[in-house]
Amino acid sequence: MRTLSITSEVTLEHLKFKMKTAKTPSDFRRWQIIHLVHSYSVDADYLADITGYSKANIYNIIQQFNTGQGDVNTKNKGGRRRELMTLDEEKNLMKGLEAKAINGQILSYKDIKKIIENKLSKEVSNDFLWDLFKRNGWTKHSPRPHHPKKNQEKQNEFKKNSKTIWMPLKMILANP
């Protein structure tokens, strides 16, 4: 079993101050681990029972403190870590495409996909494209489908000559 030790120069008052000013319970437990190792030289099994962290995580916290980073507070997770473009670049690109879209020069998402791939010099997925549309407030507009052999005259005649009956849907379904 590895022994835990603090190699950095730190005072007990500083550790107590860090524990008192911790903003989250997770940060408090991390500073508590440093304090207990510094003051009482406890082992990782004992700390794992007290804090609820795994032994590997405790070793990582001690190592992070000893390597000179000096701060063991957790960083917020989330965000756009693998972004291809910043949000501002996306907005500027979509504003540039808006004029083309209004004039009807962009007919499908594939047209925009080609433009983005040329700009980024790499292939993008369809999911990226649909997420890009959603982030920038674009929606899919397509004409309502119709049958290619429809007869407009017969449709108009049917509309004029058919009876209009208003019934609740449950009555229609009950009486076939």
Quick one: what percent of the chain has pLDDT higher than 90? 24
More confident residue, 172 or 162: 162
**Number of other CB atoms surrounding residue 27 within 10 Å:** 17
- Once rounded to an integer, what is the mean pLDDT over residues 124-143? 86
Tens digit of each residue's pLDDT (9 = 90 or more) over 64-116 = 888 876 677 666 677 787 889 999 999 999 888 888 887 878 778 888 899 99
Mean pLDDT of the chain: 84
* Domain residue extents for the chain: 12-69, 87-135
Residues in Cβ contact with 28 at an 8 Å cutoff, skipping those fewer than 6 apart: 19, 22
Least confident of 3-12, 142-151, 157-166: 157-166
- Helices 87-102, 126-135: inter-axial angle, 10-degree rounding: 90
The overall pTM is greater than 0.85: no
pLDDT at 66: 85
pLDDT at 69: 64
Tell whether the model's pLDDT for residue 122 goes beyond 90. Answer: yes
> Cα dist. 21→45, 131, 149, 157, 175 in Å?
26, 40, 75, 79, 72
pLDDT at 55: 92
